[in-house]
Structure 1
Amino acid sequence: MFRRIRSNRDPRDTLYSEFKKEFSAYAGKGSRFSQELAAKYPRLLFGLMTALLLASAVLAVLLHPKMVPPEKAKAQPQSEVLNSGFDHILAAGAALKTTIHLRRQVDSITAKQVLNKSDSITLVRDLDSLQHIRLTLPH
């Protein structure tokens, strides 16, 4: 089942060298063609390049979405701000307490030499709960 597979491939051959062998003729032809074209029609190429630059600038200006200032956030009453802040603090505290409990439980399970079925299920459930807590907390 675990037999070594022998290859007759030369170890010096790389993907780049194989591509170079295969496509170097086409790249050379393309390079010669573009040099001949540039030597034959330099003004045409310069004009085409300038026209493309101008078209790009015009399209960038015309298609750019309008810069709309964001709506000013409606001022919440001070009591709502304080309540929502306290709610975040209490939620973070409860999440921290749950996280500490789950971490202790995971550490005690992973310290065992042999796990039985219920240990494995508990471990998976606790790790999922830790992941859920991490994803739900605001950063």
Structure 2
Amino acid sequence: MFRKIHSNRDPRDTLYRELKKEFSVYADKGGRFGKQLAGKYPRFLFGLMSVLLIVSAVLAVALRHQIVPPEKAKVKPRTEMLNSGFDLILAAGTALGQTIRLRRQVDSITAKKVLTQADSLTLVRDLDSLQHIRLTLPH
């Protein structure tokens, strides 16, 4: 099962080297074609590049207001923001108290030399609760 697998592959052969060997012919043809095109029509390519930049800028400015969803554009009232902040503080305090209680219980169980089946189940349940608390708290 743990036998060493021997390979006769050359260690210098890499994925990049094999891809380069396979597709370098097409890349060279494309490069030559691009140079010929740029040599024959430099003004056309410069004009096309300029037009595409201008169209991109116009579209970015014209469509900018549609990017933000309307429900996110509305501003929450300050009292709602304060209430949600207090709710987060209260939830964090409750979670902290529960975390401390669960940690004490886990520490007392793990301090025992021999665990019973009930101790094991309680330990698993408490560790799952701690994990759930950690995942539900906002960071």
Pair in the same fold by TM > 0.5: yes
Give the letter aligned to residue 79 of structure 2: Q
Q: Compared with structure 1, are the counterparts of its residues 26 and 88 closer, same or farther at alpha carbon in structure 2 (3 Å cutoff)?
A: closer
Counterpart of 1:76 (choices 71, 76, 79) is 79
Cα displacement (A) at 1:109:
4.6
Cα displacement (A) at 1:72:
4.8
Which residue in the other structure is 1:41 paired with? 41
Bigger mean CA deviation after superposition, 4-13 or 60-69: 60-69
* Gap runs ≥5 in structure 1: none
Counterpart-to-counterpart distance in 2, 1:3 and 1:114: 40
Aligned-CA RMSD value: 3.2
Secondary structure, aligned partner of 1:12: coil
Secondary structure, aligned partner of 2:79: coil
TM-score, length-normalised on structure 1? Answer: 0.73
Of Structure 1 and Structure 2, the greater helix share is in 2
Counterpart-to-counterpart distance in 1, 2:122 and 2:65: 53
**Residue deviations 1:8-29 (CA, integer Å, cap 9, x gap):** 1111211111111111111111
* Gap runs ≥5 in structure 2: none
Q: Compared with structure 1, are the counterparts of its residues 111 and 25 closer, same or farther at alpha carbon in structure 2 (3 Å cutoff)?
A: farther
**Residue deviations 1:19-77 (CA, integer Å, cap 9, x gap):** 11111111111111100000011111111111111111111111111688954543539
Secondary structure, aligned partner of 1:128: helix
Identity over aligned pairs, percent: 66
Q: Compared with structure 1, are the counterparts of its residues 21 and 123 closer, same or farther at alpha carbon in structure 2 (3 Å cutoff)?
A: farther
TM-score, length-normalised on structure 2? Answer: 0.73
Equivalent pairs counted in the alignment come to 134
- Structure 1 segment 48-127 matched on structure 2, within 5 A: 48-65=48-65, 70-76=73-79, 85=86, 89-110=89-110, 117-127=117-127
